[in-house]
Amino acid sequence: MVIMTEDSLLAFRDPHGFRPLCLGRLNSGYVLTSETCALDLVEAEYVREVEPGEILIINSQGVQSIRCEKANRRAQCIFELIYFSRPDSTVFGQNVYLFRKKQGQLLAEEFPVKADLVMPFPDSGNYAAIGYAQASGFLWRWGSSEITM
């Protein structure tokens, strides 16, 4: 969550770290975002992930961090890695593209099938499909009504 006041920017992350939040630096200012790819788009430098339960106060004095007592466990939203986040982001310390591709490889190893090709659905499944195709040796193709073998 991010709150703006007249002279400060406050950001805090829930104690379990359910959703991602990271801090970036842009010139003499700071940027907060849930996905690291947003930092790339504005040419900001990645500083770090905001820790679960951490509160940041950003103002003319800089960045102040207040750390609450850590929760007993993390409870991260799995949809960040498999569906929500862009593949060029790093979420929960993992590259989204590599995570999805690895899941496709693991799926091919655990559940081998006889098939002619691998086709991703929806777009968030593109990289898992690439991983599955590479691990299984099947062709990888976009969905189209004009597919020929």
Band of pLDDT at residue 144, cut at 50, 70 and 90: low
Residue 20: closest CA among 81, 84, 91: 91
Count of Cβ atoms closer than 10 Å to residue 79 Cβ: 11
Q: Residue 68's Cα: distance from chain center in Å?
A: 24
Lookup result for tokens 């020929």 = 148
Share the mean pLDDT of the chain: 89
Tens digit of pLDDT for each residue in 46-94? 999 999 999 999 999 999 999 877 767 888 888 888 888 999 999 998 9
Count of Cβ atoms closer than 10 Å to residue 36 Cβ: 21
Range 117-122 average pLDDT: 85
**What pTM did the predictor assign?**
0.77
Tokens of 149: 């073998």
The pLDDT assigned to 146 comes to 57
Range 92-114 average pLDDT: 93
The answer to whether 15 and 68 are in contact (CB under 8 A) is yes
Q: If you ran DSSP here, which 8-state letter would residue 7 be given? A: S
Tell me how far apart the alpha carbons of residues 143 and 101 are, in angstroms, rounded to a whole number. 18
The 8 Å CB, 24+ separation contacts for 23-32 are 23/47, 23/48, 23/49, 23/50, 23/56, 23/63, 30/58, 30/63, 32/2, 32/56, 32/58
Range 26-44 average pLDDT: 93
